[in-house]
Structure 1
Amino acid sequence: MQWQTLAATLFPRGHAIVQRDDFLCGSAQVGADIIEVIGTTGHAPIGVEIALAQAQAILRIVREHPRRAILLLIDTQGQRLRRRDEMLGINSYMAHLGKCVDLARRRGHKVIGLVYDQALSGGFIASGLMADACYALPGATIRVMGLAAMARITKVPEERLAELAASNPVFAPGPENYLRMGGLEAIWDGDLAAHLAQALACDGVEDTRSALGQQRGGRRLAQPVIDAILEGRHVRAA
């Protein structure tokens, strides 16, 4: 889906989102409230420039619009794979972006992520997965690492990984699998404006992704491990 079509659907009362290269930024009306919108388009590769632009936009919102909700529109092919970006320290730029999202949350900004097209690897981790809650459209493409790349890294044959992906969402791409793992709060279909209004009205501030993954059968051990660690801390404290 083109971002212009998405914005018209999400914001029937109007918006002032502008596109600069692959970077999206602006404000929009949701009910009686104004929200800020930051995002990417064109399957944007996240290099140092766009990571810094997103971070600067978030810091500006924190400074100029205290506690105003932020919507992250996500369409990225992940970290830009260029020697220049690596030499400039793209990992630090993306870490800075993630820290800015966390700062906004700590300052009282509701942060919502929406994968409307493609979300891959580090570009997704530093944006949608840093939000209070992340959602996706049904046709979105989501994965942290493709099976071919995973095979090269893990030395496990791609055919074996494909077999595992058929039954284990950890190995499989797609919004349905990330929903099962708890990485997505929900998949939005139908009235997108209503879905957005409902998400912004939600008061939840705790990170429940591990608990959701356990409930949905996609990540069965993350929450038990967390509970065991917390229980151990309580025992030592006593």
Structure 2
Amino acid sequence: MTLAEILASLFPEGHSVNVADGLITGHGPLDGRDLSVVGVDGDTPLGIEGALTLSAAVLATVRAGGAAPILVLVDSDSQRMSRRDELLGLNECLAHLAKALLLADAQGHPTIGLIYGHSAAGAFIATALATRVLVALPGANPSVMDLPSVARVTKLPLEKLETMAKSTPVFAPGLDNMVQAGAVQAVLDPVQPLGPQIAALITDLPRQDDRDALGKARGGRPVAHDIAARVVEAARA
């Protein structure tokens, strides 16, 4: 689905969502309340200006009070890997965006990520993975790091990594692997209106991040949940 199709399916009565330089901001009515929308469209790389623009939109929703949900729509490239952005603190700007989304969630604004295209690396982490729940549309292509990049970092042959990826979902890119690892909670039905599907997600939002439990139940991350529980138990002791 294109962004225009997604917005029409979400808001059949109209909306005030705009796109400028690949950045999505605005609002729309959903299930009797206002839904704040931010995100990245058109496989756009996320640079310092984009990260700060989206952060400002999220924080504006927080300052407005209430409990307006925030929907993060994602079709991005990775972060904008330019010397300029790196020197100006791109890592801090991406972290600021992720923390703004976490703050919004802690202040009572349910955060839902919806990936409908590509996303990778820091841009994926600071947007889609910083929400309480992440869902996807068929055809989405998320990855924390693609296999050629993993090969460069680990110095392992690409062919070996491709073989490993077939049996280790937590290690591999792609939507199916993200679902099995629990990073993506569900794949939405593009044939049905998206508004009710998003509204149902908000109503049934888990009280805390349960992606490690999903990964264990689906067989994609068999040990993460138990290790996290042991860390929490040790910290409390």
TM class by shorter chain equals: over 0.9
Which segments of 5 or more consecutive residues in structure 1 lack a partner in the other structure? Answer: none
Per-residue CA deviations over 1:158-216 (Å, capped at 9, x if unaligned) read 00000011111123222111011010111111322221111111242211011110000
How far residue 233 of structure 1 moved from its aligned partner, in angstroms, is: 4.0
Per-residue CA deviations over 1:85-125 (Å, capped at 9, x if unaligned) read 00001000001111111111111100100001111111110
Q: Which runs of 4+ in 1 moved over 6 A?
A: none
SS class of match (2:85): helix
Question: What TM-score, normalized to structure 2?
Answer: 0.95
Q: 1:15 to 1:65 in 2, by over 3 A?
A: farther
> Which is further off, 19-28 or 45-54?
19-28
Question: What TM-score, normalized to structure 1?
Answer: 0.95
Q: 1:89 to 1:11 in 2, by over 3 A?
A: same
Residue 208 of structure 1 pairs with residue 210 of structure 2: yes
SS class of match (1:43): strand
Q: 1-side partners of 2:56 and 2:230: how far apart?
A: 39
- Alignment size in residue pairs: 235
> Which is further off, 203-212 or 224-233?
224-233
Which segments of 5 or more consecutive residues in structure 2 lack a partner in the other structure? Answer: none
Q: Percent identity?
A: 39
Q: 2-side partners of 1:33 and 1:203: how far apart?
A: 16
Q: Is the 8 A contact 1:169 1:180 kept in 2?
A: yes
SS class of match (1:68): coil
Identify the residue that residue 39 of structure 2 maps to in structure 1.
Answer: 39
Q: 1-side partners of 2:59 and 2:232: how far apart?
A: 33
CA RMSD of superposed structures (Å)? 1.2
Matched to 1:158, the amino acid is L
Matched to 2:57, the amino acid is A
Residue 64 of structure 1 pairs with residue 64 of structure 2: yes
Q: Is the 8 A contact 1:66 1:107 kept in 2?
A: no
Identify the residue that residue 230 of structure 1 maps to in structure 2.
Answer: 232
Q: 2-side partners of 1:7 and 1:109: how far apart?
A: 20
Identify the residue that residue 133 of structure 1 maps to in structure 2.
Answer: 133
